[in-house]
Structure 1
């Protein structure tokens, strides 16, 4: 199902007792989440959100903070009256996911897949270098999807969002989450390496860290069954 009201695209499918909301990264759309969404939809209801200025959504008049992206994500999800979801972010989407969890505390977990921004390399040049390195490790079809999304997003909006992404300090915000946090990363991810995942987890109240062997940054596309199993197994206590 595709919902286009208020200019925000939401794709939903599946059924079950649990609900998952998937939030993409900078410049991307919901497309690279499809393999994971298909796995989750076998057991639960899944919502794929596209943030303002991304995918088919029109560019807002001004840059949005991670908190404002989170508010827009909640407004889009609320139209479906689907109850409390497990919030799943990828890359910059993790920063949005943390803000969503802070804005509405609840019982369901927040899951962070390859969260940005690594505090040991908190600079635009280093992040650009790591993105290039990861591109060489991703399958060609993933690179094709992301390239098309970046072109559709456009350089001006991407750069505006990048400034907001770099200004947001996930390591300071994650401790405000009362929800349990699942942090998942790829062993071969240069953007969100394993040591960063553990340092970030040390700031959370109730974290769990899992490293997917041999996986790059977009591990939910390359290893969707592994990631889906982790999400489905990680039921709240």
Structure 2
């Protein structure tokens, strides 16, 4: 089993956590004198209510070939709860500043679900540091623009598409987050104009979904991939919303292939 090491990162009074695989390079600012990563680091960003844990399988596969970090964001995963509601822009700013303070100079942002929204805002906040943007299971699908539809889509995905292990991770993380903070941030997620904000991103963008994902449907995902000049849509066959847990190698292969194909070659 892969062991992840972690360190708290405080930025502007908000405290989150950065994680890396034992035996791999810690964030540069935490290892003075160590060589800098040869290329951009992969940065994995979770969605509402959850943590790095449902990204851990993907983290392990990506870390086999590249510097990889996961984040636990303020208010989630047992980190201190902020004393006020945070906007998606607030979270994007936190991510960008936390990476900067950790000495991570260039990166590929990989967001899942609401983490897609966070990743978009981090990319817009620090455009000179991001190299690629990966949007897995992006929300909120235009078919689910009210709480009833969104909740039903998530419920049916968990009931019909996901494994017992992924459901256990998600439900136990929801309990750690607690209903107060989840419900504080839920309207923020629902109101965020994902497509509009994504259109301002100027790096290659991969939209990735499980072929059975009802939360991020095919039409919505295709539209997002076309909202940017260098966008692509990839589907992982036979899985739902938490594709990175069910098919981590297939997801990692799709990400690495996209990054390689759209990186400048000298």
TM range (shorter): over 0.9
Q: Deviations over 1:179-234 (max 9, x none)?
A: 11000001111100112100122222210100111111000010100111111122
**CA–CA distance in structure 2, aligned partners of residues 160 and 143 of structure 1:** 22
SS of 2:167's equivalent? helix
Higher relative contact order (CA 8 A, sep 6+): 1
User: 2:88: which partner in 1?
Assistant: 66
- 1:134 Cα deviation (Å)? 0.4
Gaps of 5+ in 1: none
**CA–CA distance in structure 2, aligned partners of residues 79 and 59 of structure 1:** 21
User: 2:19: which partner in 1?
Assistant: 11
Q: Which of 104, 108, 115 is residue 131 of structure 2 equivalent to?
A: 108
**CA–CA distance in structure 2, aligned partners of residues 17 and 108 of structure 1:** 10
Q: Which of 83, 96, 112 is residue 90 of structure 1 equivalent to?
A: 112
Gaps of 5+ in 2: 26-37
Where does 1:17-166 land on structure 2 (aligned, <5 Å)?
17-106=39-128, 108-136=131-159, 137-166=161-190
TM-score (normalised: structure 2) = 0.86
TM-score (normalised: structure 1) = 0.96
Q: Deviations over 1:77-129 (max 9, x none)?
A: 22221221000000000001111111121461100000000012211100000
User: 1:201: which partner in 2?
Assistant: 225
Q: Deviations over 1:136-171 (max 9, x none)?
A: 110001000000100111111101111111111101
Q: How many residues align?
A: 237
- 1:75 Cα deviation (Å)? 2.2
Q: Which segments of structure 1 move beyond 6 Å, counting only runs of 4 or more?
A: none
- Verify the 8 A CA contact 1:186 1:194 in the aligned structure 2: no
